[in-house]
Amino acid sequence: MSYDLTGHRLAEHPDFVTVATRAGLRTLLAVAGWPPLALAEHGGPLFAEAARREFVAVSEVSLEAWDAADEAVTELAASILAGEGPRLSFVYLGAVDAVGHVLGAGSAYREAARAADRRVGRLLGAVRSRPSVADEAWTTVVITDHGHLDQGGHGGREPEVATAWAAAAGSGCPAGARRARRYRRGIAAGRAGGYAGAGAAAITRCAAWTSSSRPTRRSWTRCGAATM
């Protein structure tokens, strides 16, 4: 399987961060470890435009280095969320994915997921620390882009690989709502965006946006499993 993403059609169908940036919103893209998301490498950047772009490289080929990159990007993003309060942010954490590829879906994978959960909690804590948070309508969406085989590796179209989950909370997302939808490729989010690569978060305090850059009243509340 190739990780070269050359040939994508994002120029015709831009990502949601680019759409928001072009609409004049202050946006943040913060990525740990996977260059094509943020850099002009291997067909990237998949996120073409952002008002602020931060990339934390993995210092060496090791799971510890992936965890360190996740920690660094979390600390950086939390500081920006608390201070600057971008209208839309996308934060990518990659250690869960790296552990799944190398070690499979066992105890280390579950611990990596718990570490990512704690880091998402810190991002939410940064939002809640804002003096003006009571006057702001924040929405958070968490998405994985794929699952893993128990034994590790990348896999292909197996159900456990092709099924991912999404969760949303905030303005327009009723507590406890559960909805499932099948997607041909990836997971789309109308209101905020998502987690990719087994760990990415979109955090927004703007109105909902469609791919045509027009605001809409429709909120995004699809939560549950999605098969890609």
* 163 in Cβ contact with 187 (< 8 Å): no
Rg, the chain, Cα only: 17
The pLDDT confidence band at residue 227, using thresholds 50, 70 and 90, is: very low
Q: Give the pLDDT confidence of 121-132 residue by residue, as tens digits.
A: 999 999 999 999
- pLDDT the model gives residue 131: 96
Q: Taking the CB of residue 26, how many other CB atoms lie within 10 A of it?
A: 16
- pLDDT the model gives residue 3: 67
Give 200's strand partners: 92, 143
The mean-pLDDT minimum among 76-85, 140-149, 153-162 falls in 153-162
Whole-model pTM: value is 0.80
Higher pLDDT, 112 or 6: 112
The pLDDT confidence band at residue 155, using thresholds 50, 70 and 90, is: confident
- pLDDT the model gives residue 178: 74
Angular region, 179: left φ>0, alpha ψ -120 to 50, beta rest:
beta
For residue 152, what are the contacts with CB-CB under 8 A and spacing of at least 6?
Answer: 100, 101, 102, 103, 104, 105
Give the torsion through C-alpha atoms of 58, 4, 197, 173, to 10 deg. 130
And the tokens for 32?
């740990």
Average pLDDT over every residue of 6-15: 88
* 119 in Cβ contact with 95 (< 8 Å): no
Instruction: Name residue 191's amino acid.
Output: R
Q: 135: buried, middle or exposed (CB in 10 Å: 19+, 13-18, 0-12)? A: exposed
